Structures are given as C-alpha cells and as structure tokens.
Chains A and B, each alone.
Chain A
C-alpha cells in the first residue's frame, strides 16, 4: 500500500473523523449555497474574479515591482525568496536581529507551506499560534487538515479534552463557547507579549503597497499591532492591481469559504507605524515567496495561481469528505491540494493524489476563480503516464485493452468470450466475487452481463 492508501485507510476507519469533517464541511456547504443564491449573478462574478487574477498572473513581474516600490515608499522592507528554505531563513534572521524570543503567528497557509513552524522551533524561537484552530493544532502537535479550518478533523469532545489537559485555567462547562473562552484566556496575555508578529497575506495591493489580511477572530490584528516587528510572508501570486480589485476578490472569498458576505475583520496594512501613531510596529517586513510559482506559471499550471485559498473545492469534494485533509499528506488538501502538492513536492511521491479523484467536476463548479481542477488533474495524470510513474500492471492492462479496442472485429470476439466467462461467475443476475475485479466486488455486487452484447444482438435482429 502507498502512503496515501495507508493514510486514507486510517481515515476511513476513524468514525470520529467522519463526524468532525461532516459537521464543518456540511455547514460550510449549506451556508455557501445560501450566500451564492442571494448574490446577484455569482457566475458572472466568478468570471470577473478569474479575469482579474489572469490579468495579474499575465503581468506578474510588473505588479510585483509596483507593489515593492509602494511598500518601500510606505516604510516597509521587502525581501524576496526563491525557495521555502530561503523564505524561512529570511524570517529567522529578522527574528534574531530583533532579539525575538517569541513570535505571535496569525494563520497563514504559506507559512505552513514553507515549513515556518518547524524553522522557528529549530531556531529556538517560541511560537504562539493565535488562530483558534491553529492553537488547537499546536497543542495537539499535529498539522492542519484544511486551509480554512485547520482543526476540522477534531470533534468538540476531542478539543475539550485537549484544552482541559493543556490550558492553565481550562473551561468547566462543556460548550463550544466555553472552549473558545478558555482559549481566549490562555492566549491573550501571551499574544500581547510577543516580540514579533508574523502573518500571511490574503491580498497584496500593487498600487498602494498594502498587505490585506482577513480573519473572523481578530487574532491577526491582536498579533500584529503590539509587537515591535511585523513580518509578512506572502506568495507572489497574491497581488491584485488596486483596492477595488481586492474588494471584488474579498466578496468572492468570504462567500466561497464560509458563506458570509465578508469576514469580520479585514485589514490593509501599509508600512510600519507612523511616528505620531499611538500603536503599531516599528518595522514591517514583507517576504515575497516564489517556491515553485514561477515554474507553475511556465509549465501549464498558471490557472492554479488564481487560487485564493477559500477551501470551497475541498468542502464540496466527495473524496475529501470521506478521508479528511491529513490523508493527502501535503500542506494543501482536497482538489486544490491534489494539483498543488505535486508541483511543490514532486509528482512521484504524490502520484496517488492526482488519481484519487472521480473527476466529477463539483470543485470546478464552486471555484470562485474558475480553476479547471479536473483538467489540471488530468494533466498531472498524463505527465505521470509519460514519465513512467504508473504501475506496470496498469500500463499493460490499459495497453492490451486499447490494442483490442482498436480492432473492432477482434474486440467483438474477445468481449464475447469475456462475457461468457463472466456469466459463469454469477447467478440470479449478480456476480458477488469476480477475479481481477476485487476492488469492485469487495464492496458491491456486479450485475451479471447479458448473454450477448448489444452489437451481436443488433446484428442478429437487423442489418444496419
């Protein structure tokens, strides 16, 4: 069994996981449906959102330089990182230069992608995760299983037990509100005492140099205002030309992610605190991270760079809903993860991800930026085939079948024999076990085929 198969089997065997995923993803799906139906012409809005991102990706170099110039003019310092390691090194060096002992981190998938939590630990820098879900993940010493709800895989009962074991003054009443309150007590003084605040970026505004973050908890602002230094790590594809472009994307993001019209807190940071400001950081650093994005743009995955990390594709994915996010094994799970992970971590170890999909197209239907995820997955499958990564049995089987199927007369003969053999395996209409098709008959019966094929019957009954 592959790593993916092992993880998927473990996930399927865990009834709590199914409950937990269903509770959150099911709610998200229902709320998104309502929000989309209440919005005037969401499909046209998706087309516009895709066009905005396509425009940016086509002129990415130009917009990045414009963003950089404006951010510097506002007093921020801009750093560039070609790889994940480079990005981590820049962040660690900045933390060390400011003598930081602890950092407060506001949830950022890019931070997860580049391995920042691990890099901070190696550098001996304390990390306070301030997003409630990331806090749960940190306490449990796990990895996020969803890009919007990193702790989606945990039930309330599991979170309750975790908080009771780890919080200084845990909740007594077993309600979700009481658990959130427990986390508020646990985190507030620690986040106010952090030396550096680290965030990602939902959008980078080219014409002002502003960095936009969105949260529902207000944890980004509480993590980023008090410390002396604010560090942003952002993928280079996060650019939009201007604030009104960001507004359109924000409308799409909130509705697609949670079904809300907007997140509770939407903040645009432009440079560090001004001399007369009563609060805010003295320094603002923005690390622009490539980590494979320019390569994706060059190698047929430009469509994927439109992704705004809303999570709608995974919430609506039948496979994700069964196995959750950890089974995917990468930073990004679900359909978008199945496309991204091979680009970030290589195709060979992630071959399963591009196949473990029914190509039903629901993800593409809900994607706010119209990413053709099934098409991109087919593209990966083709590459996998071309590069000889597919198992020999599959290559031989498909090759043999195609060879026969290209010879209609032989095909009729071979299938007639196969049908006869199959009919011997079944009784009263059904085949309960079928050699070479255990994957099918282990879980479901196979209808017993008719005595002769359509083509044979048709030829007998009438001449074309």
Chain B
C-alpha cells in the first residue's frame, strides 16, 4: 500500500458541508478599519515601527521618475534602479536613471507595482507574472513600491485577486527584520532595509 493510501485510509470520513466551512468565516474578529478613510488608515499602519515604511504621493504616472529621484537623492543613493518589465512604466521619462531589469545580488533599489494595499495592516500585495518578477523585491536594499490609492482595500480578506492564482501571491508588511538575537528587533535582516511607498492619487 502506498503512503498516500495508508494515510488517506485512516482519515476516511464524510465530506464537509461547504456551508459549514463558510459559516466559520461569518463576521470574523479583526481590527477595526474606517472604510471611509482607507488612505489615512493605510498610511497610519505604514508608519508603525513594525512596518517602518516611508511614503510620498504623486498625481500621475508622469511624476513617478521625479518622486523616485527625490527619494534616492535624499537617501544619498545613485539613480540606479531595477525596473520590472511592466508596460505601464515604459511611458515614464527615465532620463537621468541607469535602469536594468535583472536584479544584482547587491541591488540598491528596485521598483515594484503593488496590486493592492491593505489598510488593516499596511500590507502591500504583489503577484508574480510576466511583468512582475519576485526576486528584486527581496534583494534590493531600498524597495520602492508604487500603489494606486484606488487599490487600497480594508482587510486582508480583500488581498486575493479573482481568477487563476499566480505562482506567488505575496504580502509585504514592512522591511526585512529579525528578532532572532535576544528578541531585539533590527531591520534589514536578509531583505530590504528600506521600504518606500509612492501613492498614485489619480
């Protein structure tokens, strides 16, 4: 007998009622979010010490390069950027930047476009796809994220997008951190030490 048959043989039972599983999700306890002020709620969470993200806001995609330039200059970093192959970014004027699309092991800054923002936790939701590699978002020292304010949703339950699931659906809620030495929190463990969110208010 295969291990599969042996295990499943011991777990035989009646199939669950789908309604029973759904009933477990009625009115879940969760932090209160003011749905009339999602942007403010999201930004408040973003500023928590556990998330430690900075933010900026722009009114149109055309302003994106200038916002990134502002950030990198303020950080004292070169205007070098790992850019995903997303067609929406092709219309921006990237003059003055050194761009590449494959992240280096010691990547300084990478841009990504979040699919959603979650007000409950200040989380940024990403999905892998042809125009959205995953690795740069974990390698870069500075992770710069573009998020349209209309994509901010109240709760983590709102994170999944409809349709077929991508290889990876992931939530980033702050910078890479660790408490592995004496429980003391330090930032920049293996991944980004800085997280900068640029809100697109168009």
Instruction: Judge whether A97 is part of the interface by a CB distance below 8 angstroms.
Output: no
- A55-B24, A280-B168, A298-B10 are contacts. A179–B181 as well, Cβ < 8 Å? yes
Q: Which residues of A contact B123 (CB under 8 A)?
A: 262, 266
8 A-B pairs (CB sep. < 8 Å) = A27-B183, A55-B16, A177-B188, A217-B180, A245-B25, A268-B168, A269-B167, A278-B85
Proximity bits, B64-83, A CB within 8 Å = 1, else 0: 00000000000000000000
Contact among B12, B155, B189 with A218 in the assembled complex (CB-CB below 8 Å): B189
Instruction: Judge whether B105 is part of the interface by a CB distance below 8 angstroms.
Output: yes
Q: How large is the interface on A (under 10, 10 to 19, 20 to 34, 35 or more residues)?
A: 35 or more
Instruction: Judge whether B175 is part of the interface by a CB distance below 8 angstroms.
Output: yes
Instruction: Judge whether A42 is part of the interface by a CB distance below 8 angstroms.
Output: yes
B interface, over-half SS: loop
Contact yes or no, A59 B167, CB < 8 A:
no
Proximity bits, B12-27, A CB within 8 Å = 1, else 0: 1111100011001100
B113-159 with Cβ < 8 A to chain A: 120-121, 123, 128-130, 132-135, 138-139, 155-157, 159
Closest Cβ of chain B to A108, distance in Å, is 15
10 closest A-B pairs by beta carbon, nearest first, are A218-B191, A61-B11, A24-B183, A217-B189, A27-B183, A133-B180, A45-B29, A278-B133, A80-B4, A267-B170
Closest Cβ of chain B to A400, distance in Å, is 43
Tell which of A7-15, A247-255, A344-352, A353-361 binds the partner.
A247-255
Instruction: Judge whether A173 is part of the interface by a CB distance below 8 angstroms.
Output: no
Instruction: Judge whether A114 is part of the interface by a CB distance below 8 angstroms.
Output: no
Q: How far is the CA of A25 from the CA of B2 in the complex (A)?
A: 43
- A24-B183, A55-B24 are contacts. A187–B190 as well, Cβ < 8 Å? yes
Q: How far is the CA of A362 from the CA of B32 in the complex (A)?
A: 28
Given A45-B29, A55-B21, A61-B11, 12 further pairs, Cβ under 8 A: A40-B29, A156-B181, A217-B190, A221-B191, A226-B135, A243-B160, A264-B172, A267-B168, A267-B169, A276-B129, A288-B7, A294-B7
Instruction: Judge whether A244 is part of the interface by a CB distance below 8 angstroms.
Output: yes
A145-195 with Cβ < 8 A to chain B: 149-152, 154-156, 159, 176-177, 179-181, 183-184, 187-189, 191-192
Contact yes or no, A155 B182, CB < 8 A:
yes
Instruction: Judge whether A93 is part of the interface by a CB distance below 8 angstroms.
Output: no
Contact among A42, A208, A288 with B29 in the assembled complex (CB-CB below 8 Å): A42
Closest Cβ of chain A to B41, distance in Å, is 13
Q: How far is the CA of A74 from the CA of B169 in the complex (A)?
A: 13
Contact yes or no, B135 A263, CB < 8 A:
no
Instruction: Judge whether B60 is part of the interface by a CB distance below 8 angstroms.
Output: no
- A151-B181, A179-B181 are contacts. A48–B29 as well, Cβ < 8 Å? yes
Look across to chain A and name the residue whose beta carbon is closest to the beta carbon of B187: A177
- A222-B138, A277-B128 are contacts. A250–B180 as well, Cβ < 8 Å? no
Instruction: Judge whether B87 is part of the interface by a CB distance below 8 angstroms.
Output: no
Instruction: Judge whether A410 is part of the interface by a CB distance below 8 angstroms.
Output: no
Closest Cβ of chain B to A432, distance in Å, is 39
Q: Which residues of B contact A208 (CB under 8 A)?
A: 165
How many residue pairs link A and B with beta carbons under 8 A? The number is 259
Q: How far is the CA of A256 from the CA of B93 in the complex (A)?
A: 47
Q: Which residues of A contact B130 (CB under 8 A)?
A: 276-278
Proximity bits, A106-144, B CB within 8 Å = 1, else 0: 000000000000000000000000111100100000000
Closest Cβ of chain A to B122, distance in Å, is 8
Instruction: Judge whether A272 is part of the interface by a CB distance below 8 angstroms.
Output: yes
Q: Which residues of A contact B175 (CB under 8 A)?
A: 264
Binding site for B on A (CB under 8 A): 20, 23-28, 38-42, 44-45, 48, 51-52, 55, 58-65, 74, 80-82, 86, 130-133, 136, 149-152, 154-156, 159, 176-177, 179-181, 183-184, 187-189, 191-192, 208, 210, 216-219, 221-222, 225-226, 236, 241-245, 247-248, 250-251, 258, 260-274, 276-280, 288, 290, 294, 297-298
Contact among A40, A150, A263 with B173 in the assembled complex (CB-CB below 8 Å): A263
Contact yes or no, A149 B179, CB < 8 A:
yes
Q: How far is the CA of A71 from the CA of B199 in the complex (A)?
A: 35
Contact yes or no, B190 A176, CB < 8 A:
no
Closest Cβ of chain A to B69, distance in Å, is 25
Q: How far is the CA of A269 from the CA of B39 in the complex (A)?
A: 28
Q: Which residues of B contact A41 (CB under 8 A)?
A: 29
Closest Cβ of chain B to A25, distance in Å, is 8
Instruction: Judge whether B95 is part of the interface by a CB distance below 8 angstroms.
Output: no
Closest Cβ of chain B to A187, distance in Å, is 7
Look across to chain B and name the residue whose beta carbon is closest to the beta carbon of A134: B180
Q: Which residues of A contact B45 (CB under 8 A)?
A: 261
Q: How far is the CA of A280 from the CA of B28 in the complex (A)?
A: 34
Instruction: Judge whether B94 is part of the interface by a CB distance below 8 angstroms.
Output: no
Q: Which residues of B contact A210 (CB under 8 A)?
A: 165, 169
Look across to chain B and name the residue whose beta carbon is closest to the beta carbon of A189: B105
Q: How far is the CA of A222 from the CA of B132 in the complex (A)?
A: 16
Q: How far is the CA of A192 from the CA of B135 in the complex (A)?
A: 10
Look across to chain A and name the residue whose beta carbon is closest to the beta carbon of B101: A278
Q: How far is the CA of A104 from the CA of B150 in the complex (A)?
A: 38
- A52-B24, A59-B14 are contacts. A277–B167 as well, Cβ < 8 Å? yes
Contact yes or no, A251 B30, CB < 8 A:
yes
Contact among A40, A154, A155, A180 with B31 in the assembled complex (CB-CB below 8 Å): A40
Contact among B16, B24, B139, B169 with A48 in the assembled complex (CB-CB below 8 Å): B24
Q: Which residues of B contact A222 (CB under 8 A)?
A: 135, 138-139, 190-191
